[in-house]
Amino acid sequence: MNKALMKHWGRNLLRPVAALAFLIILIKKGPFQLDQIKYIFSQEKVLITGFGLILLQFFLTAYRWKLFVDTKAKISAFLAFKLTLIGQFFSFFIPGGVGGDIVKALELSKLKSLSRSDTLSTVLADRIFGLFAMVLFSSLFLAIDFSLEHNNGILKYLAFSTLLLLAMFVGLMFGRVVVQMIYNFFGSKENKILLTLQKMVTSFDLTFTSFRNKKLVSFTVLLSLVLQVISIYFMSLVVESLGVSIPSYLIFFSLCCFGFLASAIPITPAGIGVGQAAFYFLFAAFSEDLGKAAVTAISALQLFQFFYAIIGGIIFSASPLLRKNIQAEQK
């Protein structure tokens, strides 16, 4: 086996191995409670609510992405939904560097004769707007709770969230201008760093442009709020079904957003393991029982997403051209 092939397989195995390691540690330390998960999936209300809400969430996620795609080429809501499910399949099941968002972009470029850079820019814009909305509402809800309750325990979260929101806002408003100024200052000198910066600006061009579109920003932020409410309502339902009280919904919502941000870091497939560790760390500060219940809640959420990812895999398996394209990208 040559070095390139060994490196390829090593990179492919790294993320699932990391996810497994996180889960083993959590099981041994106690936060990951298999009996709680079994109990939750024996509750009819949780099952019906979970299947319904997560399906709605996928529809809304697909529609938010469609808003960015429509700036390049009009697509149907059904196509966006189908590609979103396929992307979710790859986020769960493909351990290598070809993530779900990239798969969506690749297939869209084939179906609509768009360049890969154009389609990649749509998933990048969608992801960044989603993250921006999470930080925005986390900061807002923490600020409201602090003004009402004067809880000094949340000050560190409020400060971090506010600083992150400010950094994202400045980056989205002025990032392209700053990088372009740097590039122009050095002129046409051959420099890998400058070329990388210029390429980055091109990739983020749709994101920067969209951020100045007030109507698009307002609608995507509103959709993002609904998406987060769906996830966090379901998680609160799981926690309360376990007989554990949550702090105020404002705090619960805000800390869940922090957990989702940690889960979005591409360390493990679909944030498995990382999400559980993040939620335990955030909520165990209130109580050990709440920390364990939060781990169960994020695990239940991921299992429902896993179910719909399987449907995405079935759609993918029925698309020979798509399989051929993705397999070529992985080589």
Task: From residue 132, give the alpha-carbon distance in Å to each of 136, 144, 222.
Answer: 6, 18, 12
- Mean pLDDT for 148-171 is 87
| Prediction pTM value | 0.84
Give the mean pLDDT of the chain: 82
pLDDT tens-digit map of 223-256:
999 999 999 999 999 999 999 988 888 889 999 9
- Whether 26 maps to a domain, the answer reads no
In this prediction, residue 28 carries a pLDDT of 66
Q: Note the pLDDT of residue 172.
A: 87
pLDDT tens, residue by residue, 28-66: 666 777 888 999 999 999 999 999 999 999 999 999 999
Torsion sign, CA atoms 175, 180, 185, 187: positive
Question: Is 6 domain-assigned?
Answer: no
Q: What is the pLDDT of residue 1?
A: 46
In a domain, 28, yes or no: no
Q: pLDDT higher for 259 or 5?
A: 259
Report the pLDDT averaged over residues 155-175. 89
Structural domain containing residue 147: 47-67+76-330
**Cα end-to-end distance, the chain, whole Å:** 15
Using pLDDT thresholds of 50, 70 and 90, give the confidence band for residue 137. Answer: very high
Residue 205 lies in a domain: yes
**How many structural domains compose the chain?**
1
pLDDT (0 to 100) of residue 331:
47
Residue 221 lies in a domain: yes
Q: What is the pLDDT of residue 103?
A: 84
| Residue 33 maps to a domain | no
Greater confidence (151 vs 26) lies with: 151
- Tell whether 12 is covered by a domain: no
Mean pLDDT: which of 14-23, 55-64, 166-175, 176-185 is highest? 55-64
Reported confidence tier of residue 97, pLDDT bands at 50, 70, 90: very low
Sequential DSSP letters for 74-96: ---HHHHHHHHHHHHHHHHH--S
* 17 assigned to some structural domain: no
Give per-residue pLDDT as tens, 176-203.
Answer: 777 667 666 665 555 666 666 666 666 7
Alpha-carbon span 105 to 123, nearest angstrom: 7
Dihedrals phi, psi of 284, to nearest 5 degrees = -65, -20
Report pLDDT digits (tens) over 263-289: 887 767 667 778 888 898 889 888 889
